[in-house]
Structure 1
Amino acid sequence: MKEFLLNLSRKKFVRNVFIMATGTAAAQGVMMLFSPFITRLYGPEIFGVQGVFMSIAGIFAPIAALAYPIAIVLPRKREDAKGLAKLSLYITVVITLLVGLILFLFNQPLVKWLQMEEITSYLYLIPIFIFFSGFLQVIEQWLIRENKFSVSAKSTFLHALLLQGSKVGVGFFYPLASVLVILSTAGQALKAVLMIGMSKDTWKQTDDNKNNPSLKVLAKEHRDFPIYRAPQVFIDGFSQSLPVILLASFFGPAASGFFTICKTVLAIPTKLIGKAVGDVFYPRITEAANNKERLSDLIKKATLALGGIGIIPFGLIILLGPWLFELVFGADWERAGEYARWLALWGYFKFINQPSVKSLAVLGVQSFHLGYTIITFVVRMAALTVGYYVFNNDLVAVALFGVTGAILNFLLIFITLRISKRFDSQFP
C-alpha cells in the first residue's frame, strides 16, 4: 500500500489534483467556519435577496467573453493563447456595456416579474459583476494552461478568508442584504487581483515568436465556442439561476434563501474535489487526444473515482439533512435541510459528471452539449412549475427538480462515454 501511494503521488495528474483540492479544501473550510455566523446574522430572507441578485448575474457572467476563455488551454502556440486572452477581454467589455444598457431600459419590468422590490437597488451592480467575472475567467484559464495550479489554490484560500471574514465583520454592525450583494460583487475583482499578484512571472514571459496572431483569425478558428459553448453555458447558467428566481416569485424570498444555502453547501464537494479534478483533467485529456490515447478509459476512471468519493458527503445529506442544517446554521434553516435531501441526488451526479463535461470540447461535440443543456433547462423548469401550479408546495417543487436533475446528469455521463468510444475507434 505504501509503495502504491508513493507511485500515485509521483503522477503529475494526481499531484496537480491534490494541489487544487488542498487550496479548495482550505477555502471551503474557511467558508464552513464562518457560515454558522453568517446565516445567524443575515437570515433566510436576506439570503434570498442575495440569491436572486447572484442568480441574475449568474445568467450573464458565464458568457461575459462568449466562452472564448475556455479555448485558451487548447492552442499549441503560446502567442495564440495570449491572443485568445486579449480577444476575451475585448468581448467582456462589449458584453458588460450591453447588459448595462438592457438593465437600464428594462429594470422595472424585471423587478415587477420577480415581485421583489428589494432587488431594485442592486441591479446596476450586475454589469460590474459581469465585467470582473469575464476578467477572472481569462486569468483562471491562463493559469490552467500554464499549470500554475498552486497559484489557483493559494488565491482561492485567501479569497475565501477575506470575503467570508468581511461578511461576518461588517454583518455584526450592518446585517443587510446590501452588504452581501456588494461583497459578492467585489469578491470577483478580489480573486482576479490575487491571482495576478501571485503569478507575475507568468505574465512577464515573452514569446519566441514576435508575430502577434490576428484576433479575427483566432476568433474564426475557435468560433465553435461562441456558436455552441456560449449558448450552452448561457442556458446552463439560466438553468442554474432560474430556480432561485422562480422560488422567490412563487413562494417568497425565504424559499429562495433556503435553496441558495443548499446550493452553497452541496457545491462544497464539487468545489473541493470535482472542480479540481475537472480543471486538471481538461489539459490532461487535451494532451491525450493530441497523443491519440484512449479517452474513454480516462473519462471512465475519473468518473468512477469521483463516484466513490461522492457517496459519503451526499449520502450524509440525504440521511441527516434537516438535523445537520439546524445544527450548523440555526433553527431557521431546518427547512433548507429538507430541500437539501432532494437536491443532494442532483448534486451527486453533477459532482461525478465533471470529467464528461470537460471532455465534450475535446471530443468536438459542443453542439450535442448545447442540445443537452436546452433539454435540461426545459425539464428542470417544468419540474418547478409543476410543483407550484399542481401541488402548490415548495418542497415538492424542489424534490421534482432534484430527481430530474439526477437523471439528466446520469444520461450525460452515459452518452459522453459512448461518444468517447466512437472517438477512440478512429485510432486503432
Structure 2
Amino acid sequence: MTTTESSDVVQASDPRPGARRRLRARLARPASRVLLGSVIGQGAVLAASPLITRFYRPGDLGALAVVTALSSVVGAVAPLGWDRAVVVPRAEGAARAVVLLAVVSVVTISAIAGVVAYAGRHVWAEATGTPLLVDAWWVCPVTVLAVALQRVVTSSLARRRDYVALGRRSALQGLGQVACNLALAPLGGSWGLVLGLAVGRATALVGTRRRHAPRRSRPPRATVRPPGRRRVRGRLVVAVVSRYRRFPLVSTWSGLINVMGQQAPLLLLAALHGSPAIGALALTMRVLGSPVGIVADAVALQVDGQTGAIVRRRAGGVEASVRRVLLPLAALAVVGLVACVLGAPVVFPVVFGEAWSGAATSAMLLAPAFAAQLVASPVSRLLPLLERQGTQLAWDVVRLVATSGAIVGSSLAGATVTTSIAVWSTASVVSYAVMLWLVVRAARCADRPRAAH
C-alpha cells in the first residue's frame, strides 16, 4: 500500500467530523484536476465544431464516424482486457507485469489489424459506404495502436492517482485532435478529420510520459542483476496471468461488446444508408459527446482511483462511495437534457449553419440517451473492479443486441434515419437503467460480508 493509500485509510476511519471534511476536500481536488483537463480538451473540440462544419462536408464527418467506430472497436480488444486489470493488484510488481502484458497485446493486435485492413480494404470500403478506406486503409490500424496504448497508460495513471497527468492527457488529446483537424483542412477531403483521432491520442501519450528522477549511481552489476532475476520475473508474469486470467478471458469480450454497443449503430446506419447520410448524426455525437465526455471522464477516473482504493482495502464503504457519485450526476443529467431539448432547434442552425439543421433533430432524439450515459457510464467501471466480469459481459451483450436490433429492425421496416435514431435512443436509455441497477446491487453485495462482521 502506498503512502497516499495509508493516509486515506487513517482519515477514512477517523470518526471526527473535521477529519471527514478534510477527506472530502482531499477527494475533490483530484477530480477538479482531471475535470480541468477534460474541459480544456473536450472544450477545444466543441469550440472548433463551428469551424469544422464550414471546412468539411457532411460526408467527411460520416467518414470520421466510420473510422472512429472501427478503430474504437478494435482498440478496445487490443489490450486483451489487461488494461482493466492494472488498477486491481495490490502489489506494484504485479501491476507492472499486467502493464507489460497489456503493451505486448496492443502491439500484436495492432499489427494483425494492419494486415487485415490492407487485405480487406475494398471490402471494408464497400461494406461501410466509405471509399476513403481503400487508399487510407492504414489510418485505422494506426488509430487502433494510439487508442489502445492510451487505455493502458490511463489505467496506470489512475492506479498511481497521478491526476495532474490525467488532466494533462485529456487537455492534450483534444488540443492535438483539433490542431490536426484545422491544419489539414486546406488539403480538402476528410484527411484532417480521420487523422485527428490518432494525432490527438499520440499527443496525449507523449505529454503524459512519466518524468523520471535523475538516476543515482548504480551499485555493482552483480547486485543490480542477481542470478535468476529473469526467471523470477517470468514466474511473476505467469502468476499474474493465472491470478487475473478472467480479464483476458472475459473482460476482453466484455470490452469488445461494450464498445460495439456504442459504435455498432453508427456502422449499421452507414452500411444501410451510406456514410454521407450520417454526417449530421456525426456532428450531434461530436457536440453532445464533448460535454458528456468532460464530466464522465473525470468521474470515471475518480471511480478508478478512489473507489478502486476502497475496493482494494476491503474495508467496506463501496455502496456509499457509489451513491455519492450518482446523485450529482443525475442532477446534472436532468439539467443537460432539458437544455438540449429546448435549445438545439435554435442553436444548431445558428452556430453550425443551415446545412446542418438536421443535426438539431438528432440532438433532441439522442439527448435522453446521452443523459443516461452520463449517469451510468462512470460507475459502470466498478463491475470489473469488483471482478464481476460475467455481469459486465451479460449487460454488454444485452445492450449490443438491443441497440443494434433497434437499428436493423427499424431500417428493414422502411424507417428513415431519424426514426432509427429515435428507436436507438430508447433502447440505450433502458440499457443504461439496467446498468445502474446492476452497479448498485454489486456495491451492496461487496459491503455485505464486512457489515456482517
Paired letter, 1:407: V
Paired letter, 1:222: Y
Contact 1:159 1:187 in 2 (8 A): yes
CA RMSD of aligned residues (A): 2.5
Q: 1:314 aligns with which of 318, 328, 337?
A: 337
Q: After superposition, give the CA deviation of every residue in 1:234-275 in whole Å (9 maximum; x if it has no partner).
A: 112222222222222222323322222222222223321121
Displacement after TM superposition at 1:69 (Å): 1.5
Residue in structure 1 matched with residue 256 of structure 2 by the alignment: 234
TM-score, scaled relative to structure 2? 0.87
Aligned-partner Cα distance in 2 for 1:256–1:110: 17
Q: After superposition, give the CA deviation of every residue in 1:126-164 in whole Å (9 maximum; x if it has no partner).
A: 222222222222221111111111112123223322331
Structure 1 residues 378 and 203: alpha-carbon distance in aligned structure 2, compared to 1, 3 A threshold: farther
Residue in structure 2 matched with residue 95 of structure 1 by the alignment: 109
Q: Which runs of 5+ in 1 are unaligned?
A: none
* Structure-to-structure mapping, 1:270-419, within 5 angstroms: 270-289=292-311, 290-419=313-442
Aligned-partner Cα distance in 1 for 2:105–2:179: 33
Residue in structure 2 matched with residue 183 of structure 1 by the alignment: 196
Displacement after TM superposition at 1:75 (Å): 1.5
Q: Does 1:221 align with 2:234?
A: no
Q: Does 1:155 align with 2:169?
A: yes
Aligned-partner Cα distance in 1 for 2:256–2:22: 38
Contact 1:356 1:412 in 2 (8 A): no
Secondary structure in 1 matching 2:57: helix
Structure 1 residues 165 and 362: alpha-carbon distance in aligned structure 2, compared to 1, 3 A threshold: closer
The range that moved more, 298-307 or 177-186, is 177-186
Larger Rg: 2
Contact 2:43 2:290 in 1 (8 A): no
Contact 1:167 1:180 in 2 (8 A): yes
Aligned-partner Cα distance in 1 for 2:333–2:22: 20
Paired letter, 1:191: A
Contact 2:46 2:286 in 1 (8 A): no
Contact 1:64 1:133 in 2 (8 A): no
Residue in structure 2 matched with residue 252 of structure 1 by the alignment: 274
Moved over 6 A (4+): 202-207
Contact 1:31 1:164 in 2 (8 A): yes
Contact 2:37 2:170 in 1 (8 A): yes
TM-score, scaled relative to structure 1? 0.92
The range that moved more, 294-303 or 39-48, is 294-303
Contact 1:21 1:272 in 2 (8 A): yes
Aligned-partner Cα distance in 1 for 2:213–2:344: 44
Aligned-partner Cα distance in 2 for 1:88–1:203: 27
Paired letter, 2:340: I
Contact 1:159 1:194 in 2 (8 A): no
Displacement after TM superposition at 1:9 (Å): 8.6
Structure 1 residues 268 and 184: alpha-carbon distance in aligned structure 2, compared to 1, 3 A threshold: closer
Q: What is the total number of aligned residue pairs between the two structures? A: 421
Q: After superposition, give the CA deviation of every residue in 1:108-132 in whole Å (9 maximum; x if it has no partner).
A: 3332322332332222222222222
The range that moved more, 343-352 or 237-246, is 237-246
Aligned-partner Cα distance in 2 for 1:292–1:53: 44
Q: After superposition, give the CA deviation of every residue in 1:44-95 in whole Å (9 maximum; x if it has no partner).
A: 1111011111111111011111120221112222121111111111111211
Secondary structure in 2 matching 1:427: helix
Contact 1:88 1:134 in 2 (8 A): no
Aligned-partner Cα distance in 2 for 1:74–1:342: 38
Aligned-partner Cα distance in 1 for 2:308–2:215: 25
Displacement after TM superposition at 1:323 (Å): 2.2
The range that moved more, 159-168 or 326-335, is 159-168
Aligned-partner Cα distance in 2 for 1:296–1:9: 17
Paired letter, 2:362: Y
Contact 1:22 1:153 in 2 (8 A): yes
Q: Does 1:138 align with 2:152?
A: yes
Aligned-partner Cα distance in 1 for 2:167–2:214: 18
Aligned-partner Cα distance in 2 for 1:117–1:303: 43
The range that moved more, 57-66 or 246-255, is 246-255
Aligned-partner Cα distance in 2 for 1:10–1:201: 30
Structure 1 residues 423 and 68: alpha-carbon distance in aligned structure 2, compared to 1, 3 A threshold: same
Aligned-partner Cα distance in 1 for 2:189–2:166: 31
Residue in structure 1 matched with residue 14 of structure 2 by the alignment: none
